[in-house]
Amino acid sequence: MLRVKHVNLTLRNQPFILKNCEMAATASNPPAMPVAGDDYLAKEIEMLSTDLREEFRTYLDEITAAGQFATMRKLETIVKPEVKLLGIEGAPDQEIATPLGSRDASKLIEAAHQAPFGRGEETIVDTSVRKTFANMTAYFSTWELSPDRFSLSEHWQPYVDSLMALVCDELGVRGDGIRAELYKMLLYEKGAMFKRHADSEKVPGMFGTLVISLPSAHWGGAVVVAHNGKKYSLQTYNHEYLAWYEYNLAVTARGTIDNTQVQEVTSGYRWVLTYNLVQTDCEQFNSAASADRKLRAILTEWNNTIEEEGGETDKMIYQLDHKYTDASIRLNSLKGADLLRAQRLFSVCDQVGFTLYLASLEKQVHGSAESNNNGYYDRYDDDEEGSDGEFHAIEDVIDETLKLTRVVDTDGNVIATDLDIEEDDIVQPDPYEDRDPDEDSYEGWTGNAGATSTHWYKDSVLVLVPNDMIANVFLASYRDFGYGDGGDAKVLAILRHLVKRAQGFPGAQGDSLRQSVRQVGIMISDNRIDGKHAGMRSYKYTDTTVSEAIVACADCGQVDVLRNLSSAFRDNLAEGALKSLSDLRGRTDLSIAEDRTRLEYIFGQVVLNHKTVSKKYETLSFLIGVEALTVANHEDCMPEIKNWVVQMLAKIFSDLDVLSNEDGDVIAKIATLDTSEALLRDRIMPSIQRQIQGASPEKTTFMMKFLSQALDSSKPLTAELVSIYEPLMESVVRNLSFRKAQAPPPARTASIYDRSGANTVQQDPRKPALDGRVLLSILEHCRNLDLHQNALLLETNVAAQTLTMDPQDFAKTLMPFLKGIMERLRDGKDDISRHQVLFRTGLSQYILRFVGQEPVQINWSRNPVRCNCADCKTLNNFLRSPVDRVSRMSVGKQRRHHLHIQLDAHTDCTHLTDRGYMETLVITKQGKSFEDKFNAWKLKADLATAALRSLEDLEGPANPESHLKKLLGDQYEEIMTFKRVRIMTAAQQPSARQPQTNVAPSGTSGAITAGVSTLGARQPHPSQVIGQKRKAVVIDLTDD
């Protein structure tokens, strides 16, 4: 309970504002937003009782709507509707006379379709809801026509608008910003009815339904609406004679009232038009004129009490009169007193530092219930209500939950879901006492447990939260436990909501919102700590979440939070986060030592938390806005900043003992920027020389990138630089090493046909493969530096590496290298002879190791089933046979079913029953495993074909004396046709060089399509199956 200590209208401690900037290191207690100097407000606060919750509830209870929730009126005004049924596909329009006669009713029914109805937020068609049977022979229903199937008089809509003004007045709803949208024409036949139900919102902003009864003689069909114990019966018939000018008007707030039903039409046709009443203007609610001094006093004192006494009330929840669906709950969809209460709160919240939300509240109670005494069959009693129409009472409560299932802002945007609350958060006293549940689920006695029942109580509520408590309210579970699925998404939703709100109040009015942003930032940084909770794995927020928190805290001036967030990421910060941090330089007076030191600490944490030298250097340069190594050349940079950058560079380069693949380019860039060459000579080179001892793919990739970038730069190569790089070049060429194939994952112990689990993709933990273009760059630099022996050794070692390299790396490492050499040959820059060993060895290995042998179906044997019964032993003989593919087993129904189970569980065979003279189980072994292997092989073959063709295409049209032919010599045809890996008949000689050409070799007849790329998903050729295929095995297992 909140209690008043004393009246206090002063602002909370203001944040420390940095000079010439918008950011602030906020004190622990943010300011509330009372209107200072308001003597009347002070008097209102003095008059409040000590129970602010009761004051709040009483205040809202006293706001009531002036009108009813449903109304009906018999109108005297006459406007002819001039209904026309529109023709389709060229058919003429048909006039529908008023009053409606049976002939015109038949026309409408023929053009209409059966009306659906709403269940929750679904729309379905169920004849059990809109039909009845007379003596179980006659069928009646409700029919509907959409507005595109009929037309009305041009004077009709203005007439409806005039009726809507009356409706709004009687319902207590302001008429401005409201429109009536035609929804459907409905026709109820004799006997039709509409059982008790709850409607849902049909269009955004809808708050009610207008029903206009058109002239048609009928009895019955009254609309019955009930809400909060009140019931209205809105008649649409005339006991005497219903003339066309005697219109009846019925308005119901569907989707908000407890239930609606249309009683049975006992004679004639009930003919109505239905309109959706839609609120279009929400901005009118946020008017300073509607602010209330007493409400401001209550909320101001609530804020003061939280600050002074550490009150535990961080939210107040008020149950609304009506219930709204999740789709419809928003400010401009509320009705009656609900709307007035929300308007009043909405108009005051921003002035006093609060935020208004709307939510769906659900209480669930589960417990034991009295059995229906139906014994064993009681388990099938799934009725939601008891047999006498009552709910099943709960005798002993087993479990109980109370939560806000969906929280939205005033525009209907989802803010949070499944938020646990306490009953004390609801300001109404004893909200569930003596109340029937809205839903009930009953499970009868099962023999092992007694009968149980679950009750659900559902409400729509207003939720009022102080701005500086928003993070505490919505993220308490993540703050306390810091783990769970979907945590990032939920935390980011709240953070984005807070930032958006804070941006709307850039001044002191938004300080409390920025305080909540600060709390979210602290929570994200704290939750990155391992071992925070014994026995629990502390949830690790992604770098994306940390990055967004940094952006939010930087933009909202929460610099003190950035001290922890700056080291809370795992790998890399997003560029947006780095930009927000970099922008702090322009929003901080760097001449103030305290501010400069704070910023330097944050920048330093961000830089050093990155894992690689390259990322550290690039991040430092990004944050200060210039290349870090050239900062001394920038006169506009303060000396203190220059000194700090020099210190950071020293820390970065102290880590040169551990270099990664990614560091090569940046280390080379650093070397070229070092005009004195001292850094290269004294720090970089000694570290590199220590690390390049021995051969490994990682060392090769790093050194290749470093040398390529360093030698590609525009920096002139002095004699000293050449003396530095030559030994490195010789070392990296001599120790060349490519990635090897990954070890296969551990073999599964389960059957290869086990379908119980999905295959998992093995992750590749290795660094990326070396790019062949970098290899080419090194080759060219060897020649430029007259290191011809190194160039020759490089090609020799590349050829040797193709014997063991990862087959998947040929495309990235080898082929670009060969393509670059082909371009040099085309331009006349090289001699063919020096490259022949590389091309012959490399391309042969490419075909043998990447494409591989074309798969062959060795035999038809299959793993046996696990059962040892007589039938399964016979089945296993067939499964083990290498030549038999089809078996026919004559077995009875039960035994056949047993074989079905075994085959489905343990084999890839198909089976069907031949219901001839003797029912026979026909079992066929499938070749799917072979087909999958062949298709995978074909894909690789197609890729290799394209790669080989691209080498020849460098020389234009087919050239009988191409460089590639000269390079490959007598191995040309073997490599280009994949001869060593293909299973080919004498007639099949595909060529990667001529994929589109049909060739008829001498001595053969007919056209032969060449090229691996033309391979189709074919069945295995007879030569691919070892063993002579026999006729289907026929096994008679029927009893004599």
Alpha carbon distance 195, 482 (integer Å): 48
User: Starting at the edge strand that comes first in sequence, how are the strands of the sheet with 70-74 ordered?
Assistant: 70-74, 248-252, 206-213, 270-279, 178-188, 142-145, 113-114
What tokens were used for 92?
């003429």
Domain presence at residue 942: yes
Same domain, 237 and 143: yes
Domain presence at residue 1003: yes
Query: What's the count of helices (H) and strands (E) in the chain, helices before strands?
Result: 30, 34
Q: How far is CA 712 from CA 435, 776, 824, in A?
A: 81, 12, 18
What average pLDDT does the segment 651-662 reach?
A: 72
What average pLDDT does the segment 280-291 reach?
A: 46
What average pLDDT does the segment 180-192 reach?
A: 91
Neighbours of 695 (CB within 10 A): 14
Same domain, 117 and 202: yes
pLDDT tier at 257, thresholds 50, 70, 90 = low
* Higher per-residue pLDDT: 250 or 196: 196
C-alpha of 389 from chain center: 43
* Higher per-residue pLDDT: 904 or 671: 904
- pLDDT digit string (tens) for 64-95? 766 666 777 776 666 889 999 999 888 899 99
pLDDT tier at 461, thresholds 50, 70, 90 = very high
- Please say if the pLDDT value at position 127 is more than 60: no
Question: Residue written as tokens 């002139």?
Answer: 716
Question: Residue written as tokens 């036949």?
Answer: 189
Residue 846, amino acid? Y
Residues 6 or more apart in contact with residue 482 via CB below 8 angstroms = 523, 526, 527, 532, 533, 538, 539
Alpha carbon distance 983, 1022 (integer Å): 11
Sign of dihedral through CA atoms 999, 1002, 1007, 1011? negative
* Higher per-residue pLDDT: 846 or 382: 846
pLDDT of the residue at 1012? 38
pLDDT of the residue at 308? 63
Residue 31, amino acid? P
> For the chain, what percent of residues have pLDDT higher than 70?
73
Segment among 89-98, 257-266, 304-313, 331-340 with least mean pLDDT:
304-313
- Residue ending a domain, among 433, 451, 480, is 480
- Please say if the pLDDT value at position 1017 is more than 60: no
Domain presence at residue 771: yes
pLDDT of the residue at 967? 92
The answer to whether 31 and 291 have CB atoms below 8 angstroms apart is no
- Residue ending a domain, among 435, 464, 480, is 480
Alpha carbon distance 207, 327 (integer Å): 12
What b/e readout covers 46-72, taking b as 16+ CB neighbours within 10 angstroms? Answer: eebeeebbebbbebbeebebebbbbbb
pLDDT of the residue at 458? 93
pLDDT of the residue at 441? 85
> For the chain, what percent of residues have pLDDT higher than 90?
28
pTM above 0.75, yes or no: no
Average pLDDT, the chain: 76
Same domain, 80 and 156: yes
Three-state SS for 22-78 is CCEECCCCCCCCCCCCCHHHHHHHHCCCCCHHHHHHHHHHCCCCCCCCEEEEECCCC
* Bridging pattern class, strands 206-213 and 248-252: antiparallel
Same domain, 187 and 204: yes
What average pLDDT does the segment 746-772 reach?
A: 53
- DSSP 8-class letter at 437: -
HSE-up of 565 (CA within 13 Å, CB side)? 32
Residue 1027, amino acid? G
Q: CATH number of the domain that 182 lies in?
A: 2.60.120
Same domain, 120 and 230: yes
Same domain, 727 and 827: no
pLDDT of the residue at 336? 81
pLDDT tier at 486, thresholds 50, 70, 90 = low
The C-alpha angle with vertex 723 and arms to 722 and 727, in degrees rounded to 5, equals 105
pLDDT tier at 931, thresholds 50, 70, 90 = confident
pLDDT tier at 479, thresholds 50, 70, 90 = low
pLDDT of the residue at 307? 66
| Range picked from 238-247, 379-388, 692-701 for highest mean pLDDT | 692-701
- Please say if the pLDDT value at position 240 is more than 50: no
User: Facing residues of 276 across strands?
Assistant: 181, 209
pLDDT tier at 684, thresholds 50, 70, 90 = confident
Residue 149's SS3 state is helix
Same domain, 93 and 132: yes
pLDDT tier at 28, thresholds 50, 70, 90 = very low
pLDDT of the residue at 152? 95
Residues 6 or more apart in contact with residue 136 via CB below 8 angstroms = none
Segment among 100-114, 118-132, 348-362, 880-894 with least mean pLDDT:
118-132
Segment among 326-340, 529-543, 854-868, 939-953 with least mean pLDDT:
529-543
pLDDT tier at 110, thresholds 50, 70, 90 = very high
- Please say if the pLDDT value at position 17 is more than 90: no
Same domain, 560 and 611: no
* Higher per-residue pLDDT: 717 or 962: 962
User: Facing residues of 466 across strands?
Assistant: 354
Alpha carbon distance 198, 119 (integer Å): 7
pLDDT tier at 120, thresholds 50, 70, 90 = very low
* Higher per-residue pLDDT: 116 or 488: 488
Domain presence at residue 55: no
Same domain, 554 and 615: no
pLDDT of the residue at 2? 38
Domain presence at residue 6: no
Domain presence at residue 24: no
What tokens were used for 275?
């309109």
pLDDT of the residue at 6? 32
Alpha carbon distance 381, 443 (integer Å): 7
User: Facing residues of 178 across strands?
Assistant: 279
pLDDT of the residue at 364? 92
What tokens were used for 633?
């050349």
Neighbours of 222 (CB within 10 A): 19
The boundaries of the domain holding residue 690 are 657-742+767-792
Alpha carbon distance 875, 259 (integer Å): 64
- Please say if the pLDDT value at position 439 is more than 60: yes
- Please say if the pLDDT value at position 518 is more than 80: yes
pLDDT of the residue at 149? 94
Alpha carbon distance 9, 848 (integer Å): 84
pLDDT of the residue at 876? 93
The count of residues in the chain is 1040
- pLDDT digit string (tens) for 787-819? 889 999 999 999 999 999 999 999 999 999 999
Same domain, 527 and 612: no
pLDDT of the residue at 504? 86
Segment among 158-172, 232-246, 704-718 with least mean pLDDT:
232-246
Question: Residue written as tokens 């040309």?
Answer: 972
pLDDT tier at 1001, thresholds 50, 70, 90 = very low
Question: Residue written as tokens 């089809």?
Answer: 886
C-alpha of 974 from chain center: 51
- Residue ending a domain, among 480, 514, 536, is 480
Same domain, 474 and 485: no
Bond from prior residue into 158 cis (ω within 30 degrees of 0): no
pLDDT of the residue at 810? 94
Same domain, 244 and 123: yes
Q: Which of these, 845, 830, 833, lies nearest to 798 by C-alpha position?
A: 845
The answer to whether 287 and 350 have CB atoms below 8 angstroms apart is no
Alpha carbon distance 621, 619 (integer Å): 5
| Domain total of the chain | 7
- pLDDT digit string (tens) for 575-619? 999 999 999 888 777 778 888 888 999 999 999 988 888 889 899
Alpha carbon distance 857, 689 (integer Å): 53
pLDDT of the residue at 738? 93
What tokens were used for 527?
């939750």
Residues 6 or more apart in contact with residue 348 via CB below 8 angstroms = 291, 292, 295, 296, 299, 354
- Please say if the pLDDT value at position 538 is more than 60: no
Domain presence at residue 835: yes
Domain presence at residue 262: yes
Alpha carbon distance 266, 249 (integer Å): 20
pLDDT tier at 253, thresholds 50, 70, 90 = very low
